[in-house]
A = this chain, B = another copy of it.
Amino acid sequence: MELKKQLKQYQNIIDEELTKYIKKETCPEEKWQQSMEYSLMAGGKRLRPILVLSTYQLFQEDTKIAMPYAVAIEMVHNFSLIHDDLPGIDNDDFRHGKPTNHKQFGESTAILAGDGLLNQGYEVISQTLAKTTNPEEIQRQIRVLGEFSHAVSRMLAGEYVDTEWEGKQISSLELEYIHNNKTAALLKLCVRMGAILAKAPENDIEKLTHYAEKIGLAFQIKDDILSVEGDEKILGKPVGNDEKKQKCTYVSLYGLEEAKGKLNQLTEKAIQELEPYGEKAEFLKQLAIYIQTRNK
């Protein structure tokens, strides 16, 4: 309950912040802007920005410096969802219980809405850099920008390999390759951005990276489990899609029970990485448990 309240609090802050970046001008490209807003405000869990902010708060209180990066990563995440859902890729009709972007606005608008959100992520970062005057702060932000663009490239590589291997029987190593890139790279980035911007010492950045890698993989395993035994109404998208598409998942590879075992093990190990931080890391610990036990 406590966690749910905290999550809600973070979500509200992030939603409020995101709305500041939404353009509401009367202009010829109005519908394009609406399509970006539609996906951005469709009710995502905001896990990525929450990771940025809560990691940042392990070291610093005021999240002002981390906030634009939390916003940027959520834009990029939503870009990837819009393009993944396209008829040319996954051809999905529902997301968060609503029609996917191309179902709502048409394919050409959805392609450009994805492009627009990816680019807007960088726009937010460049505006933030332009406003920063402290040279060390600028250096940290430039480092983050480098990691940001690299992680997005990894995410796209993972997405490509996922489509390339669809319907094929792949090994556990190959499945891990997909998800280390497609999902975990971005979650790792979030934690690293939070830590770097908060001036965390290098060994802390490393430790938290290990935490992120584990929850990143756990997140995907849980996704695969929910795709088999989740509740459609709560998930907001059809259950059994992976099977229908003959997607190789942790469940198809290991079976439901072993996948759950792997999920529990990763969660435990992720929590172990937080030990040095004691009470301060309680939220990140609860977040790992949330990823393990969520029903959507």
Measuring CB to CB, which residues of chain A are less than 8 angstroms from any residue of chain B? 27-29, 31-32, 79, 83, 86-89, 102, 107-112, 114-116, 118-120, 122-123, 126-127, 129-130, 135, 138, 142-143, 145-146, 148-150, 152-153, 156-157, 159-161, 163-165, 174, 177
Q: With A and B bound together, what is the CA distance between A145 and B112 in angstroms?
A: 21
Chain B contacts for A114, CB-based, 8 A = 115
Chain B contacts for A89, CB-based, 8 A = 107-108, 111-112
Q: With A and B bound together, what is the CA distance between A153 and B23 in angstroms?
A: 12
Q: With A and B bound together, what is the CA distance between A108 and B89 in angstroms?
A: 5
* 5 closest Cβ pairs, A-B complex: A88-B107, A32-B160, A123-B149, A29-B157, A126-B145
A128 to chain B, nearest CB (A): 10
A182 to chain B, nearest CB (A): 11
Q: Are A123 and B153 in contact (CB under 8 A)?
A: yes
Oligomeric state, in number of copies?
2
Task: Name the residue on B nearest A148 (C-beta).
Answer: B126
Q: Can you list 6 residue pairs at the A/B interface with Cβ under 8 Å?
A: A32-B161, A88-B107, A108-B160, A112-B163, A119-B149, A129-B146
Q: Are A160 and B109 in contact (CB under 8 A)?
A: yes
A65 to chain B, nearest CB (A): 16
Q: With A and B bound together, what is the CA distance between A152 and B163 in angstroms?
A: 27
Task: Name the residue on B nearest A138 (C-beta).
Answer: B138
Chain B contacts for A146, CB-based, 8 A = 123, 126-127, 129-130
Chain B contacts for A123, CB-based, 8 A = 146, 149-150, 153
Chain B contacts for A122, CB-based, 8 A = 122, 145, 149
